[in-house]
Amino acid sequence: MNIDGWIPREQILGAEALSKVPEEFVPQHPSNGNPPTLFLVLNDLVNGIKSSRFTADECNEILSFLEHAYVRLDAWFGWFNTTQSGKEKGSYFWHGRDSTTVRELNAKTLTSGLDDYPRASHPSEDERHVDLRCWMLLAADCMHSIAKLVNKEANSGKVYGETAELLSDFEIINQMHFDSTHGAYLDFGNHTEKVRLSWKEVIGGNNDATRELVREVLQMPELRLVPHIGYVSLFPFMGKIIPTDSWILDKQFDLISNKSTLWTDFGLRSLARTSTLYMKRNTEHDPPYWRGPIWMNMNYLILSALDYYSKDGPYRDRAEVIYNDLRGNLIRNVVRNYRETGFLWEQYDQKQGKGKGCRPFTGWTSLILLVMSESYGSN
């Protein structure tokens, strides 16, 4: 962490490591940050203390860590809350998108961790990213709880409580991000659907002509909700922000269970089949990554939310049915692939369920063990 509270994404050390990393991943810019996923763990520890899940010695050890880490966590949150804030109060957007790109169909958002997931076609400071808003609510709520536990509430704890209250306001998040037509939460930004990659003849330095795929904009963008339904659309659901008795919850179940949008027999796909960028290459050399394939980390968070919503409210029975079906699909597919190939995979094909990407991948795909044991932390 630097003096401003920024933590770089990664450090690529040595020639061998450098040779395996795409060029655009190498520079680390202090204006850009990745999701503060550590708060998922911290939040579980805090809730574990509240629910008496730990022994007295374990509680003391956790509290000691939180007290020592508080000053850095405070700085980290402060960096996010200032550098990634949007124009509207309570809005945030991922920095680092390339607004000048002429090669990418949709400028990547590497900082979000969802690299080529479609965002606004024309990056700008007017953007509002629904997933980052949900990460910030998790972080603010967790910091508020930590401040109470380590007796820091008199200082920054009050601010964290106010921030969490603002970001959890259901009416405000609906005004900023909810599209009633599709029943989905969407990003907001300067967007047009009329963008494509076209082959163009490019003259090089020696007057040599080559053909390249170049981005072509056929319609001027306008400020609007970005009509791409996928994992990002489910972040308020995954964050359990939606009240258990809200009709919007039923709409989320429609999106999840519909085979025309996200449902497959192997897990939930990352982008709806109805999206104009579904399984589209982002450049000549970049196949779709978060534009259809199934990812275990997101499916785990969705299962956690389904488990939560299956315990209360008028939609609990529907939540339970979807939970059981999705859990079964994920387990069967991962086990089948493991038996056939001997590997856990980074992601899984949404058409046939075959493992894709890196392997062996015992990172987030190992979450399948928690799915099998139905372990969802502090649910």
**Which residues are known catalytic residues?**
115, 346
227 upstream amide cis, omega within 30 of 0: no
**Residue with tokens 């981005």, as numbered in its chain:** 215
Q: Collapsing DSSP states into helix, strand and coil, what is residue 161?
A: helix
25-28 contacts, C-beta under 8 A, 24 or more apart: 25/110
How many angstroms separate the Cα of 103 from the Cα of each of 31, 194, 195, 215? 23, 15, 12, 5
Distance CA 249, CA 305 (A): 11
Helix-helix angle 38-50:130-149, to 10 degrees: 40
Provide Rg for the chain, Cα atoms.
21
Please report the beta strands in 234-359, taking only residues with DSSP state E, as ranges in sequence order. 263-264, 267-268, 347-348, 355-356
Q: Is the dihedral of CA 243, 244, 246, 251 positive or negative?
A: positive
Q: Which of 220, 195, 221, 204 is nearest to 102 (CA)?
A: 195
